[in-house]
Amino acid sequence: MTDLQEALRRLNSGDHVGIPTETVYGLAARIDRPEGLKKIFATKARPFFDPLIVHVASVDQAKPLVTTWPLVADLLVQKFWPGPLTLVLPKSAVISDLITSGLESVALRSPNHPLALKLIQSSGPLAAPSANRFGRTSPTTASHVRQEFADQVFVIDGGPCDVGIESTVLALRGLKLNELSILRSGAITETMISRLLKDHRFDFEFQVPTDKRLAPGQMKHHYMPDIPLIVGPQGLSLESITEQANLRLQQLPDQVEGVTLRKPSGVLTRPLELRLNDDPALAARDLYAELRRLSATSADHLVFIQKDFHQGEAWNGLLDRLTKAASIILAK
Ligand code: TXA
Ligand code: MG
């Protein structure tokens, strides 16, 4: 039996499986198998208030999942699917509350990975969050997934992820579904979306999401590595960052919004710098694998030095993940 056949067999019997995508690995179950969906939450220790993204292989698979498929969705998916753009649209009755955490909308995306697309063509739409324990670093290889769940999850190995951080989540709201909000930044930026819609003379407006209930999963902390990550400003030495972090660490709470913070028992003494590529796409590709690799060394904390050039839209996705993964952010 091939890995794809084995994954399909497991999905059809109400199990979950690890799947490769171009962003990060997902932990997937069929949308019509509540036992598989519940297993996702149990395996990840994920709270039920955080809704899941439904992955489709085509627009034809997406349409029955929503009450309406507006022109703007067509424009966006013609350009960006399969790819790292998730659309939040009004859900149809096919989608259960377990997937949407009781919201009236559903998040949809088509992953740009040949094995994922082949699997979903056969299985039908799959709900899949990133395949990591809640609040922890997302996996970008099959072995990350196996390590994360102590070999308890069957994973299709599709190689390392190209994009490396999760998809951009874009909500489409309003009567004409032309009020757009980016709920999570990613490789597809507001400028890329705006340019496309302007080229098609589509009338739209970007809004900053204000209603927290409509943008769940926006926890302050997330993606945390196994040892504390400190983000410090350019111009300070590693030693002084460690010193300042030690002063702050003992005042940190144990948990923020249900996510356990990384806190050492004693004083931090062994920093290791997290160095990423100067190109934002390559930095994003390597981020999670580097957090995992460096956490498994003899260092007792990681330091990322935020440089002046880490600025502008192209860095948004990466800085969002780093900021949430950090136990402490030191100001200039
Ligand atoms: O790249 C990705 O999007 C990866 C791969 C596996 O596809 N998936 C992923 O899933 O990052 P997850 O569960 O880690 O993050 C999904 C986030 C939720 O935390 C929530 O913020 C948002 O998507 N979301 C899902 N459904 C939503 C809805 N109906 N309304 C608003 N936000 C929603
Ligand atoms: Mg996640």
Calculate the alpha carbon distances from 325 to 48, 83, 110, 185, 228 in Å.
21, 24, 26, 15, 8
**What is the spatial distance between Cα 220 and Cα 242, in angstroms, rounded to a whole number?**
22
Strands 328-329 and 301-306, sheet pairing = unpaired
State if residue 229 touches ligand 1 by the CB under 6 angstroms criterion: no
For residues 161 and 20, is the Cβ–Cβ distance under 8 A? yes
| Ligand with minimal distance to 120 CA | 1
Q: Report which protein residue has its CA nearest ligand 1's atom 13.
A: 129
What's the rounded mean pLDDT across residues 43-61?
95
Q: How confident is the model at residue 19 (pLDDT cuts 50, 70, 90)?
A: very high
Predicted structure pTM score:
0.95
| Ligand with minimal distance to 219 CA | 1
pLDDT in the model for residue 309? 96
Q: How confident is the model at residue 175 (pLDDT cuts 50, 70, 90)?
A: very high
Q: Model confidence over 87-137: pLDDT tens digits? A: 999 999 999 999 999 999 999 999 999 999 999 999 999 999 999 999 899
Q: Model confidence over 181-226: pLDDT tens digits? A: 999 999 999 999 999 999 999 999 999 987 777 776 667 778 889 9
Mutate to test the pocket of ligand 1, among 24, 49, 166 (most ligand atoms within 8 A of CB): 166
Q: Model confidence over 292-310: pLDDT tens digits? A: 999 999 999 999 999 999 9
Quote the tokens at residue 64.
């029955």
State if residue 219 touches ligand 1 by the CB under 6 angstroms criterion: no
pLDDT in the model for residue 33? 97
pLDDT in the model for residue 254? 82
Q: Which of 93, 118, 148, 110 is nearest to 22 (CA)?
A: 110
Residue type, 77: V
State if residue 24 touches ligand 1 by the CB under 6 angstroms criterion: yes
**Across the chain, how many H-helices and E-strands are there?**
11, 15
pLDDT in the model for residue 291? 97
